[in-house]
Amino acid sequence: MESTNLNESESHSRKEWHSDKSERLFERQKKLIPSGSSSLMRTSSWEPYPLFINRGKGSKIWDIDGNQYIDFLMAFGPLINGHSHPKINNAVKKQIRDGYLFGAPNELEYKLAKMFMKFVPNQDRVIFSLSGSDATFNAIRLARAATGKDVLLKFEGHYHGLHDYAAISVESPPVVSGLKRFPRPLAYTAGIPAEVMDTVVVANWNDPESLERILKIRGNEIAAIIMEPIMANSSVVLPDDDYLKAVRELADEYNIVFIMDEVITGFRVSEGGAQKLYNVKPDISTWAKALGNGLTISAISGKAEYLDLIGNGVAYGGTYFASPISLAGALENLRILSANDFEAYRHLKRITRKLAKGIEEVGDELNEDMLVNWETGLLSFAFSELRKVKNYRESIQSDWEKYQAVQKIMLKKGIYLHPDAFERIPLSTAHSEEDIEAFINALRDSVKEYKETEE
């Protein structure tokens, strides 16, 4: 992989950790910006305040107090090739010189579509948008238009953005969500109309019998089934063998559009996403994070019979959809990932496996119950007695307070990790073997320190 080593001016010995500037800025910012940031994801779970990051290079970031970290959050997943990659920087700089935005077609859109098909050749069409929420919202609309049906089926713990139809049962505590065979839809946020709730059916994931039972009752109403092919918003949970194929078969049986939300898994777990990994072809797919390496771009792809409805009865568009700057950066990002016969994914698999094995060894060494789930470029761990989790209801059975306490100690050791155990650890091609070893060593020392405080 291309070297992302820091030069001497960027490297420095670790000083005593403090975050005074972040604390003060957060207090000032809350007076102008609700919650202190324009995305709750950036402040939620960070107690008593989040760190303000102002620079990144490769696998490293720096906060406004000057603390350096190895980044194991990577902006929640987009930065597949690390921070400030020089080749992507150069592509973006060139486009900035040529113009930001034209409100007209641009040749880069065709070039990116061609490159996209190199990664995902099982798709007939692709169209670009701005965010993952844009992509899932429009994919659902396409499915409804194509089938003439209104109801959406989603799964507990799966996240597909914050539009009304997706923001349901993202969190689904069993005490209020009912039986797992027939979960009750729960609004993730205030402000979702009851009429919207009536158009969403919720199911338990990794449970084909339960899904089939629901479809026998309501299958003739359902336009689309949408899912993450690998759960990655309620920790990382892998599909059981042949589960995705079973869903594909049920969707066909009931004339339901199968939408695979690859916003997180796309261009990450393999060059063709989870659908290549598991050899399952959805009707429509959505893509975002790793597509742009931090630039604002997403995509919808799929069968021509669905995508060609755009402009033929289905409206689609946005001022900033497929902006030339994002197209230029995404195109260079995919070029980097495709180099040397997709060598990037072999590197990602090696370091993800190394991290998973290291975390497990720390648990064994320190006699801690630690559950690790991973796929190429994607990992989560939890303090849990469970040896395997299959769905949302099992994923919440872990020691959240211990995870958060250990995360705080690791932060002071230079490991930037989200305090919510549900958040995945997305690795990048910029991460080195040494970065992985630093994480494992920091985890070992942090768990030891935590255990000492508990004694």
Q: In this predicted model, what pLDDT tens digit does every residue of 84-98 receive, in sequence order?
A: 999 999 999 999 999
Rounded Cα gap, residues 41 and 161, in angstroms: 12
Closest CA to 98 of 331, 324, 334, 327: 324
pLDDT of residue 41: 86
266: phi > 0 → left, psi -120 to 50 → alpha, else beta; which? beta
pLDDT of residue 1: 54
Q: What is the DSSP letter of 184?
A: P
pLDDT of residue 3: 43
In this prediction, residues 253-276 reach a mean pLDDT of 98
Other CB atoms within 10 Å distance of the CB of residue 97: 7
pLDDT of residue 9: 40
Q: Which residue has the tokens 């695979």?
A: 260
Cβ-count burial 298-320 (b if 16+ within 10 Å, e if not): bbbbbbeebbebbeeebebeeee
Backbone phi, then psi, for 449, in 5-degree steps?
Answer: -65, -40
In this prediction, residues 388-402 reach a mean pLDDT of 94
- Identified catalytic residue from 71, 261, 283, 435: 261
Specify the higher pLDDT residue, 175 or 240: 240
Coil/strand/helix, residue 336: helix
In this prediction, residues 356-379 reach a mean pLDDT of 97
Per-residue confidence at 117, pLDDT binned at 50, 70, 90? very high
Q: Which residue has the tokens 């092919």?
A: 229
Cβ-contact 262, 226 below 8 angstroms? no
Q: Is residue 369 scored above 60 in pLDDT? A: yes
| Domains, the chain, ordered by start | 20-84+342-454 (3.90.1150.10), 86-335 (3.40.640.10)
Q: Classify strands 68-71 and 298-302 as parallel, antiparallel or unpaired.
A: unpaired
Q: Is 93 a catalytic residue?
A: no
Single-letter code of the amino acid located at 198: D
Per-residue confidence at 14, pLDDT binned at 50, 70, 90? low
Rounded Cα gap, residues 268 and 79, in angstroms: 10
Single-letter code of the amino acid located at 96: I
Single-letter code of the amino acid located at 417: L
pLDDT of residue 16: 83
In this prediction, residues 162-190 reach a mean pLDDT of 92
Q: Please provide the average confidence, as pLDDT, over all residues in the chain.
A: 95
Rounded Cα gap, residues 12 and 60, in angstroms: 12
Please give the order of strands across the beta sheet that includes 298-302: 125-129, 298-302, 284-287, 257-262, 222-227, 151-155, 200-203
Instruction: State the pTM of this model.
Output: 0.94
Cβ-contact 129, 141 below 8 angstroms? no
Rounded Cα gap, residues 63 and 315, in angstroms: 42
Rounded Cα gap, residues 132 and 388, in angstroms: 29
Residues 197-243: tens digit of each pLDDT? 999 999 999 999 999 999 999 999 999 999 999 999 999 999 999 99
Percent of the chain residues topping a pLDDT of 70: 96
Q: Is 188 a catalytic residue?
A: no
Provide the token pair at 333.
Answer: 């990002």
Per-residue confidence at 181, pLDDT binned at 50, 70, 90? confident
Per-residue confidence at 454, pLDDT binned at 50, 70, 90? confident
- Identified catalytic residue from 289, 303, 390, 413: 289
pLDDT of residue 11: 42
In this prediction, residues 61-72 reach a mean pLDDT of 97
In this prediction, residues 118-133 reach a mean pLDDT of 97
Q: Which residue has the tokens 């994070």?
A: 289
Provide the token pair at 408.
Answer: 């705080």
Residues 273-327: tens digit of each pLDDT? 999 999 999 999 999 999 999 999 999 999 999 999 999 999 999 999 999 999 9
Q: Is 110 a catalytic residue?
A: no
Bond from prior residue into 48 cis (ω within 30 degrees of 0): yes
For the chain, how are helix, strand and coil distributed in percent, rounded to 5? 40, 15, 45
Backbone phi, then psi, for 258, in 5-degree steps?
Answer: -95, 110
Backbone phi, then psi, for 346, in 5-degree steps?
Answer: -70, -40
- Identified catalytic residue from 71, 134, 159, 207: 159
Coil/strand/helix, residue 293: coil
In this prediction, residues 22-48 reach a mean pLDDT of 93
